[in-house]
Structure 1
Amino acid sequence: MNKRNFAELKEKEFDLIVIGGGITGAWIALDASRRGLSTVLLDKDDFGAATSAKSSKLLHGGIRYLQQLQFSKVRESAIERSWYQSVAPHLCHFIPFLVPCYRDIRKSKLLLRIGMMLYRVLCYGENSRIKDFHKKIPKGWFISKKKLVSLVDLAESDSLTGGSVFYESHMENSERMTLAIIKSAVDSGAFAYNYTRVERFINDDNKIKGVSVADRIDGDEFKIRGRMIINTTGPWIDGLNRTLFNSDPHDITTGFSKGSHIVTRQIIKDYAVALPSQHKGQSIVDRGGRHVFVIPWRGHSLIGTTNEPLDNGLDNLSITNKEIENLIFEVNSSIPSAKLDRNDVLYSFSGIYPLQANTIKTDTYQGTGEYLIIDHESHSEIKGLITALGAKFTTSRLVAEKTVDLVTAKLDLAVSCKTKGIPLTSGTITDIESFKDRKCVEFNHLFPVDLTQSLIRRYGKDIDSIYSLGKSEPQLLRTVSERDNIIEAEIVYIVKNEAVCHLSDLIFRRTGLGTIGNPGAQCLSQCVKIMGDLLNWDDKTRHNELESVMNHLNTAVSPNN
């Protein structure tokens, strides 16, 4: 990826400046660069560190929209889910979800059968878009009460009648998905810089001609010129737009909701389960409230999500003790044998979700999955600016396609989208299982089979670069984390090639070492030494970076509220 050299940014005028390096901004940068637009992507923090990293890691097929009778959203989500299987086959896999059924008509097998039949119709043709047989979406089925309770030790209930099994696509590391898209954009000619904050727009008589930015690493301030600018900063959209025309902060969003997850010891190994909860959901066909998901994830359970009104600002977000207790209560109520307590909570994270509801209900989930693309020339007579608010990770590619379509129309360029089913740089793998088998044999003299498979899940074809490092410098084969199956060569590769600026970038996003709990003092010491040596950190910087990571790990399990 681009080194932190801003000379070229200061000298040229770009066709497109993309502000916000979350999943939507990443796809916009890739789409635009593949169409031949000179593109620069900027983020004030690390790539994909905010909302895009704080989800249940699902590339869902839109089944939740059935309850809202949003049939077009179901179809849209299903199609977009299929594209991910082709563009990044190494970064996602299908897991079976269990949905319990009850005698209550709203939660009955009958109603769910009708829903699943309709869902299959709306998803028709999804598998035809996926060329690799191993990546096709498996069929779901219904199971008896006896079978259900043998799989999940649900609380005994006379009203329980069985359940449904359907498959969803899950990511081991959603942050690496975002990064893989950005790296592919750079490979297509884009520039991408994290920790580069846009301070204001350059406005010349209601025509935006660029942005003023600040390098948060070295403190440099400079301007970047662009023919079109896209604000895709998610929850920060209104705040950035207000620097331009002092608009009402709720012009685009009407409020924010916070959703939190916890990571615990593993409760259920082979299935995810959608548990009934006391939380309200905003839907037309009501199954009796929102579900809490318990998802098997990297040898642990990922549990969420909560829904809380946001009342303490957009930055420095963290879970509350109340949210942790509520999630533990919901799981223990439905699965008594889980016997979760606070000591089982190894990590947590919280994300912000912009709302567009006319009336905000603090006790009801109001997410709709609706995205917004606003041309400010027609919206507020400001030329050169587009705002793109993506709603879901799954449909972000489509939001990007529509946004770049608008950009090319304004620049009078006749170039079509080149992201549908076209693999990312690290995902040019036609048969994922054959690729794994081949690499396990090719690398068996250097890497154990389980290490090769882990590296493929994280890096796809880029495993070759890590292999080359290990082969040329055998000392880099030393283990950093047995729990996560990570070696020093991987850390060196990341620091040299993936735009890490802080230890937290490495621990929480590039490797995920910290996102299933504290990886241990020895692991952290190895990481800070390797990274510090490569980036020439002094002792004070190393101490501060390590302290920052430890503070985050501690707050994630013991919030100060």
Structure 2
Amino acid sequence: MVGIEALPFSSTDRETMLAKLKSEEFDILIIGGGVTGAGIARDATLRGFNVAIVDKNDFAFGTSSRSSKMAHGGFRYLKSFEFGLVKESEAERNWLRNDYPNLVRPLPIVAPSFEGEKYTMTILKLGVFLYNFLDKGKNFRKGYTVKDINKVKEMEQGLTTNGLRGFGVIYDTNIDDGRLTIESIKEAVFSGKCVAANYVKITRLEHDAAGKCCGAWASDQEKAGDEFLVKARIVVNATGIWTDTLLQNKPAGYPAKIIRPTKGVHLIFKQEDVPINNGFGITSHIDGRFYFVLRRENHVVIGTTDTDYKEDLDGPACTKEDAEYLLSTVRLKFPGAKADFEHMVGSYAGVRPLAAPRVKEGETPSESSVSRNHEIIRSEDDLVSICGGKLSTFRVMAEDLMLKEVLPLAKVKIPGKTFDSKKNIARKPYLMGMTRQAFDAEPIVKEFATSGKLDGEQLAHLYRQYGKAALLILASTKEEPKLLEPIVPSEPSKYAPWILAEVTFTVLHDSPVHLVDILARRLEIQWMVHPSKQAAAARLVASLAGSMLGWDKARQAQEIKDYLAYVQRNSFFYDKPLE
């Protein structure tokens, strides 16, 4: 049996996957291919369920590829006394860091305290103490506080000391949320118990004579008029911000709309223009909101905002007003930073699915009352829905749903079949995970490091993003040296480390259907490369991917056009044509 790094998972096999959806009956149909649905698929297959998972767009299309790119414990939730959520989130962050070390990497977060701000040094000390205590000593390092301004200058020369009282340091992690999602789905597929298809839209639920869910009608978004029934004993709604579209017949105590969508935007700069050594959690000088300025290797990610959103859920975008809100405080606290539109590299926006909790009998439900915790809802027709929660706790959310609702339903709906009901079944190492020490010890890595065919930045990038699969990618370039060519040759590798071999890998093993899937969600080029360089990258990748996926010239041109339109919508700071 091949390892998961060589798992065939390509859209060239789409017809085979669709045929299985049309002909088989599944134990569970999961609607929604974000990180929540992906976590459920991984957990369910480990328990022995046969699963189908579909998404109307690409996997990780929504919030799951547009977060702050962190697995974190939720330091800011301490001020609202959500100790249980912080404890749970820290435990899950530690698991991911230990069991997926290439993708989930430690990141120190500095939280400065300035005169006139609500976070005094006393509050910071208490917060750091609680963060350490709830973590049970299992974090990468123990958090601490600093009041000596000279030490501040040693650590972060770019941070202003005007009015600075000191700062706290805690440890969280960087992560590629889209990669985490796709690898979770691939682990389910690798088990042999999961069929996964993107661009398959659920149009309506199917019910049996007793009015209970027994599947759903689906439409292939790539082939007009192709509607079919996916039969399943249990149906799970894990559609995130689209939860209310499917959720009917809710139990008493919930508002008419459970999801309160809020928009969060992020801005990207080169680290040389916003010179920080660590991540930062800062408070806005406008309204006191807490947000991040994050070191992500050689880039800096700034965000996020949190504003109510009532527009198109499929197409949120950052505006100048959103960006200026974030940048105005960055300029004050990092006066030497080139935190302006001229130096911005990219931006992206996501919609967070905050969930309204169920209220007690006699109380009136409110859409404005939302929780950071997740909600699990079993409707009268036995549709099981899950929404809310955090990226860091996706595994716990999946397990909670399985143990509380799916397994009890399975006893009734899938008689004669037994499933594993133990806790923490998915709290195990990711199959693609690899330590840097093990990676560097591989003969092929040593060969490339000494030959100079790839530089240190490129090898480090391949390790971070792909883990064990990086070895397969390197091997492919020995067979076809052209694949060593950079995708963005006009940028130094520290800012653009991608090579063509990554395109061939993702086409064969990551199930992209469109060019935007590759450049926005598999490789992250959409928001890490300046708009002026996007057209050249799009043409290069479309040519290679198209040759593998059977795209003719017209299809390639359309894919490029669609992708550049997507980039343009997320490039308010650049008003020139993308060509």
If the length of structure 2 is used for normalisation, what is the TM-score? 0.86
1:310–1:249 CA distance, 2 compared to 1 (3 A): farther
1:257 aligned to which of 259, 262, 276: 262
- In the alignment, the residues of structure 1 paired with residue 162 and residue 574 of structure 2 have an alpha-carbon distance, to the nearest angstrom, of 38
Equivalent runs, 1:386-405 vs 2, <5 Å: 386-405=384-403
Structure 1 contact 304–327 (Cα < 8 Å) conserved = yes
Q: Which AA in structure 2 matches 1:206?
A: G
Query: What is the match of residue 152 of structure 2?
Result: 148
Preserved CA contact (<8 Å) 1:145 1:163: no
**SS of match in other structure, 1:486:** coil
> How far did 1:341 drift?
1.9
Equivalent of 1:77, from 89, 105, 129?
89
Which residue of 92, 104, 122 corresponds with 1:110?
122
Per the TM alignment, residue 217 of structure 1 is displaced from its structure 2 partner at its CA by: 1.3
What runs of 5+ residues in structure 1 fail to find an aligned partner?
128-135, 281-288
In the alignment, the residues of structure 1 paired with residue 131 and residue 69 of structure 2 have an alpha-carbon distance, to the nearest angstrom, of 21
Instruction: Give the match for residue 211 of structure 1.
Output: 216
1:238 counterpart residue number = 244
Structure 1 equivalent of residue 131 of structure 2: 119
Aligned residue among 219, 230, 246 for 1:224: 230
Which whole-Å CA distance do the structure 1 matches of 2:34 and 2:291 have between them? 25
Query: 2:464 corresponds to which letter in structure 1?
Result: R
Determine the C-alpha separation between the residues in 2 that align with 1:353 and 1:223.
30
Partner of 2:362: none
**Aligned-partner Cα distance in 1 for 2:67–2:464:** 19
* More deviation, 413-422/36-45: 413-422
How far 1:447 moved relative to its partner? 4.5
- 2:445 pairs, out of 425, 436, 440, with 440
Of residues 346, 365, 370 in structure 1, which corresponds to 2:373? 370
- Report what 1:186 is aligned to: 189
The alpha-carbon deviation at position 545 of structure 1 amounts to 0.9
Structure 2 Cα separation of the partners of residues 44 and 13 of structure 1: 20
Shift of 1:449: 4.2
- 1:285 corresponding residue in structure 2: none
> What is the aligned partner in structure 2 of residue 131 from structure 1?
none
Aligned to 2:340: 341
- Cα distance, 1:347–1:529 mapped onto 2, change above 3 Å: same
**8 A Cα contact 1:143 1:165, kept in partner:** no
* Aligned residue in 2 for 1:174: 177
SS at match of 1:338: coil
SS of aligned partner of 2:384? strand
Residues 143 and 171 of structure 2 are in contact (CA less than 8 Å); yes or no, is this contact kept in structure 1? yes
Q: State the Cα distance separating 1:224 from its structure 2 match.
A: 0.6
Give the corresponding residue for 2:40: 28
Paired position in structure 1 for 2:73? 61
- What is the correspondence of 1:370-519 to structure 2 with a 5 Å cutoff? 370-376=373-379, 381-383=380-382, 385-405=383-403, 406-412=405-411, 413-415=418-420, 416-417=422-423, 419-427=425-433, 429=434, 431-438=435-442, 440-441=445-446, 443-444=448-449, 445=451, 447-481=454-488, 482=493, 483-517=495-529, 518=531, 519=533
Using the TM superposition, give the Cα deviation of residue 140 of structure 1 relative to its aligned residue in structure 2, in angstroms. 3.6
Select which of 534, 540, 543 maps to 2:554: 540
TM-score, structure 1 normalization: 0.88
- Verify the 8 A CA contact 1:241 1:247 in the aligned structure 2: no
Task: Give the C-alpha shift of residue 443 in structure 1.
Answer: 4.4
Report if aligned partners of 1:257, 1:310 keep a CA contact under 8 Å in 2. yes
SS at match of 1:264: strand
Query: In structure 2, do the counterparts of structure 1 residues 273 and 86 end up closer, same or farther at CA, with 3 Å as the change threshold?
Result: closer
One-letter identity of the residue aligned with 2:323: I
2: CA distance, partners of 1:316 / 1:106: 35
1:269–1:552 CA distance, 2 compared to 1 (3 A) = same
Aligned residue among 98, 107, 123 for 1:95: 107
> Once superposed, what is the RMSD of the aligned Cα atoms?
2.6
- Cα distance, 1:120 vs structure 2: 1.4
Structure 1, residues 93-127: CA drift from partner, whole Å, max 9, x if none?
Answer: 11111111235584221221122212211110535
The residue identity in structure 2 corresponding to 1:528 is A
CA contact (8 A) 1:96 1:168 kept: yes
**Secondary structure of 1:163's match?**
strand
Could you tell me how far apart the structure 2 residues matched to 1:423 and 1:478 are? 32
Alpha-carbon separation, structure 1, partners of 2:314 and 2:171: 34
Equivalent position amino acid for 2:283 in 1: P
Structure 2 Cα separation of the partners of residues 105 and 44 of structure 1:
44
Letter in structure 1 aligned against 2:427? G
- Conservation of the 8 A alpha-carbon contact between 2:318 and 2:572: no
Does the 8 A contact of 1:390 with 1:399 survive in 2?
A: no
Cα distance in structure 2, aligned partners of 1:469 and 1:355: 43
Assess if the C-alpha contact under 8 Å between 2:378 and 2:384 holds in 1: yes
Are 1:258 and 1:352, in contact at CA under 8 Å, matched by a contact in 2?
yes
1 CA distance for matches of 2:251 and 2:236? 18
The code of the aligned residue for 1:261 comes to H
Residue in 1 aligned with 2:5?
none
Task: Give the distance between the partners of 2:253 and 2:538, measured in 1 at CA.
Answer: 44
What residue is the counterpart of 2:361 in the other structure?
none
1:452 offset after TM fit, Å?
Answer: 2.6
Kept in 1, the 8 Å contact 2:250–2:378? The answer is no
Equivalent pairs counted in the alignment come to 531
> Cα distance, 1:234 vs. partner?
0.5
Q: Which deviates more, 104-113 or 161-170?
A: 104-113
- Decide whether the 8 Å contact of 2:33 with 2:198 is kept in 1: yes
Query: Quick one: structure 1 residues 443 and 155, their matched pair in 2 at CA, closer, same or farther if it must change by over 3 Å?
Result: closer
Question: Which residue identity is paired with 2:180?
Answer: M
- SS of the aligned residue for 1:122 comes to helix
Is 1:44 matched with 2:56?
A: yes
* Structure 2 gap segments, 5+ residues each: 1-8, 357-364, 412-417
- The 5 Å alignment of 1:275-354 reads 275-278=282-285, 280=287, 289-354=288-353
Deviations 1:462-512 (A, max 9, x none): 123212321222232222234422222221111112111100011111111
Between the aligned partners of 1:248 and 1:319, the Cα distance in structure 2 is 35
Aligned to 1:132: none
Shift of 1:264: 2.1
Structure 2 distance, partners of 1:33, 1:326, is 44
Q: Which residue of 1 aligns with 2:568?
A: 554
| SS of residue in 2 equivalent to 1:369 | coil
